[in-house]
Amino acid sequence: MSKKYILMALIILIAVSIPFLIYKSQDLARTYKKEAQRALERTSRLDKSILKVSDIKHLPEPVQKYLRYVGIIGKEKVYNFRAVTDGQMKMNPNKDEWSDINSEQYNFFDDELTRLFYMKVNMFHIPVLGLHSYNRKEARMHIKAAGIFTVLDAKGEEMRIGDTTTLLNDMCFFALLP
């Protein structure tokens, strides 16, 4: 086979591979958007009534006290929220190296408690994308370098239990924000 045909085959292979890799690099973002949209549609049909003292009577007294403290009584019931953050993450505890991080998060407080956290960070000038998802049945942290190569895919019962605590923490922390 002549060099001309080999070069042409290589060019065609590259021309086909690049769009495929670009498409594949967005898998986590597509999953995040699809799951968030599904949960938004699910929670949009819920009762939007005002939260009354009688709605929280079944909760432990410290929780009731906290909810009164943050001023939620008399306001519309909240079934979801979205938080977008930009910040920095220290990449090595022994070095003063920080990387920019962008994240977007949705939490849903209906019968299908759900937390979706999508992040983008650059490590060594390579984009690293992550999707941390939680529901009552499972939790998963999926991290991909360049959005293509799996670096971490953690899931299991311990993670689900830990993420239940994170969801509770989010409820308390974000309730304080205006």
Q: What is the pLDDT of residues 35-73, one digit of tens each?
A: 999 999 999 999 889 999 999 999 899 989 988 988 889
Token pair for 172? 């308390």
Confidence class of residue 13 from pLDDT cuts 50, 70 and 90?
confident
| In contact, 28 and 131? CB cutoff 8 Å | yes
Question: What mean pLDDT do residues 85-89 have?
Answer: 92
pLDDT of residue 130: 97
pLDDT value at position 154? 95
What's the sign of the alpha-carbon dihedral 75, 78, 82, 88?
positive
Q: What is the mean pLDDT of residues 91-107?
A: 91
**Tokens, residue 164:** 């239940």
Q: How much is the pLDDT for 175? A: 67
Check whether 15 has a pLDDT greater than 90: no
With a cut of 70, say whether residue 177 has pLDDT above it: no
CB under 8 A, 24+ apart: contacts of 127-133:
129/25, 129/28, 129/29, 130/28, 131/28, 131/31, 131/32, 132/163, 133/32, 133/35
| pTM confidence score | 0.83
102-158 pLDDT, tens digit each? 999 999 988 899 999 999 998 888 999 999 999 988 999 999 999 999 999 999 999
Most confident of 39-43, 67-71, 77-81, 93-97: 39-43
Q: Judge whether 59 and 72 are in contact, CB under 8 Å.
A: no
- Confidence (pLDDT) at 48: 85
